[in-house]
Amino acid sequence: MTHPGGRPMNSRMGFAAAAYRQAAASVHPTVAVVKLYDATLLAILQAVRAREQKQVEECFNKVMRAATILRGLDQALDYDKGGAVAEQLHRVYRSYILSLHLSFGKPDVLKRYRKLYDSLIGLRDAWARIAGMDPHQETSEAAQAAPTAEAPSPAPMVPPPAAAFDSNLFLGLMAEPPPAVREAPSRGVPVRRARRSAERQPAAG
């Protein structure tokens, strides 16, 4: 499998895409996206907790987990169908991944990761509305991992047009669109169908 730019997918990117396919194969694809966001959020907060406890290696592992999940979402984008929407989501995912890595060695790393966390919640809840799921709620584990210092409200990492996407743009994730929209004119969607992707990649070991 290759990236839209024609580059071969490396092993880490292949693993990330396989994680996406595995999640999408067991639940409705839109639900899978939300669950993957939740897993990313949890990994970020676990990284914060590890950093607070001076467990640098564990913090790094959790950062890598969060970045890997985001790569899986990025690799699921369908650039042929999604067009500008897919390109915009690609930029958003890459911004998160880059920020995760660049923040790791900074003295204000806890504040930076909290900003990433808060920003990702907005994107997660947008997908949750599409999937008919509840807004994000912090678990007791998440609350324990949250930084104690209050950080200022972060600037949204998602560009305004992306935050305002019509939910119909994501209906291509669904195997069976709701009756109300099944006969609506087709619109570009940014994500491959999980079944088609699964046929092209071996399952993760």
The one-letter code for the residue type at 2 is T
Q: Where are the alpha helices (DSSP H) in 54-169?
A: 56-75, 79-82, 84-103, 109-131, 140-145, 160-163
pTM of this structure: 0.61
Q: Please give the structure tokens belonging to residue 32.
A: 């899978």
What is the DSSP-derived secondary structure letter of residue 203?
P
What pLDDT digit, counting tens, does each position of 28-61 carry?
A: 777 888 889 999 999 999 999 999 999 999 999 9
Report all structural domains of the chain as residue ranges with CATH numbers, in order of start.
11-200 (1.20.120.340)
CA 167 to chain centre: 17
Residue identified by tokens 């069976």 is 176
Under 8 Å between Cβ of 146 and 138? yes
Q: Please give the structure tokens belonging to residue 115.
A: 């900003």
In angstroms, the CA 56 to CA 89 distance is 30
pLDDT of residue 1: 41
Give ∠ CA 172-129-182 in degrees, rounded to 5: 35
User: Between residues 138 and 15, which one has the greater pLDDT?
Assistant: 138
Phi-psi region of 95 (alpha: psi -120 to 50; beta: other; left: phi over 0): alpha
Q: Is the pLDDT of residue 180 over 50?
A: no
8 beta partners: 2
